[in-house]
Structure 1
Amino acid sequence: MNYLTYFSIFFFYKIKQVISSLPDVDNKVKIPEALTPEQYQKVDKLVNNQDYIDYELKDQLKRLGELHSSIGKLTGKESTVNSMEAPVIYLEPPLILPKSQIKTDEEVENFLKKVGLEDETNDKSDDPYKITNIDDAKTTESSIKSKLAKMRKTREDMFKKMRTLSIKIPGDPEATREFNNLKIGLKKLDDALENQIKKLTQVEHVKAALIDLVSGILR
């Protein structure tokens, strides 16, 4: 063998030693296998499901904000979504009215008593337009505000539960069913709340009309 042959053998021997001393690359790097059609469907379903949950929670948060705003305008008290974590009671203490307004109210009530319209005081929240005296108006107004407070608290509790369930939904069919049931329940509750808000507005209109009517008679 000549010098070049010896050199070649020695060179390849060294290369083999270097390669054998390297880490086992095959054991360190694994090429992921492609997902099966079933796995693709499962992932796609989870993604779509989470999008649906996110949308529903945002929608309910928006509705809750609108509810707080609507009731806040009627009660004259600021109400925002940021305060929803704490119970809110709408049975507010009586307003401190100007002396002139207090005198007018007393004159109206005294007049209604004289003409026999103050014999009974009933909750006429089913049909506010049947109210014929101030006492009925006050009783009905108080009753509706009490209902609104309870219904709003119920709605906040339902919404909080929806947020809790949304975390469990990806792998919990029972949580999914409960979430959807709550969504249906919230829709019914929203309809009832809207109805009560309309009735409260009607009571305020009737009450104002009664005061204006009797004030005109007393002049």
Structure 2
Amino acid sequence: MNKRLLVLWAGWLLPVAMAVAAPVAEVAGLSGEAHTGPAAQARALAVGDKLEPGADVRTGDKGRVRLRFVDGSTVVIGDRSVFRIEAFAGGRDGKPRQASLLLQLGLIGQTVSPSRGGSWTVRTPSAVTAVRGTEFMVEVGADLDTSVDVQEGKVEIETVDAPDKPRAKSLRQPPVLLQPGSPAMVCRQGGECVVAKSFNPDRMKQKQDRLSGV
């Protein structure tokens, strides 16, 4: 390739790369220990840091992080959590938002701004939640079970197959719709979503406390 074409190629790639890597969230609050980046190159987060699609956040024993997304939605990541922004598009200038988040372990609380024609999805090892304009909490325990509590709006939740035991479509439980007043649900990988037996006001307060202070 001659130098002229190489320069033109580089000039085309640069704005594309910049557009792809545009930040979609900002660290709006922080308490305790929180890091981002690959384990070997992890760096401590600070208020004001910008995060792009693909960024992960890991919190310590007392770490908490509040992220503000470009569409006005917020996510609070509790202590001992592993979270990733898998994808995020739109949300600016009234454009429909397409958000895909991953909670591998721990607890998050979310306040999701309405988006006409958009979506907001949270994946865990054992469930997928899909919402449109709501406030809810998602927790993944050490056993990788997922619990979901809804404070406002509606959340659709369904289980995912275990990696080594895919199920036929006819054997999968239909999505469960949660709304305020619905009991907390627990979903098991490759299993079903059931009412949380251990749900009580004290347990709810414990979760809320883990998300406070940021």
TM class by smaller structure: under 0.3
Task: Please report the TM-score for the alignment, with normalisation by the length of structure 2.
Answer: 0.24
More helix, by proportion: 1
Larger relative contact order (CA 8 Å, sep ≥ 6): 1
More strand, by proportion: 2
Larger radius of gyration: 1
Task: Please report the TM-score for the alignment, with normalisation by the length of structure 1.
Answer: 0.23
